[in-house]
Amino acid sequence: MKQWLIKAGNTSVQDIPVYDKDGVLVTNLADATEIKFQIKEKRDEVTPKVEKTLISGIDVDTPSAGYLRITLTPTDTGTTLSVREYFMALQIKWSATEIYEIIIEIETEKTDRLRISQDIVQ
């Protein structure tokens, strides 16, 4: 299973495609009222270690293309998170009744894993 692999203390950017339940690329991302990306130590943890939103860390540059760009900063990857494996989740809300939990794809493989590795300078 692929992971989002990040070197500790580095900026990391990932473009994530968003598909509906039928496997069709979602092209109305500009209409979303809320988008949340979370990193947690445990899958069922209530309070995330890192949370990115449309206001901070998530961009929808080309909403009709069906991709979100998530940016993790050096503070996220080197201070807030330590070297280890985490779980990640993505939620998109269009209305009070239309909320999707999105399965994340990294390099065309579905995953919920994010790993911070040591940044070794040689």
β pairing state of 104-106 and 58-59:
unpaired
Determine the Cα–Cα distance for residues 26 and 120; give it in Å rounded to an integer. 38
- The CB density around residue 9, as the number of other CB atoms within 10 Å, is 16
Q: What is the CATH number of domain 4-117?
A: 2.60.40.1930
Res. 122: pLDDT tops 60: no
Assigned token pair, 27: 């092209």
Single pTM value for the model? 0.89
pLDDT in tens, 38-95: 999 999 999 999 999 998 999 987 777 889 999 999 999 988 999 999 999 999 999 8
Domain residue limits, the chain: 4-117
State mean pLDDT over 108-121. 86
Mean predicted lDDT score pLDDT of the chain: 90
pLDDT in tens, 48-63: 999 999 989 999 877 7
**Residue written as token pair 């950017």:** 13
Buried b (16+ CB within 10 A) or exposed e, 86-102: bbbbbebeeeeeeebeb
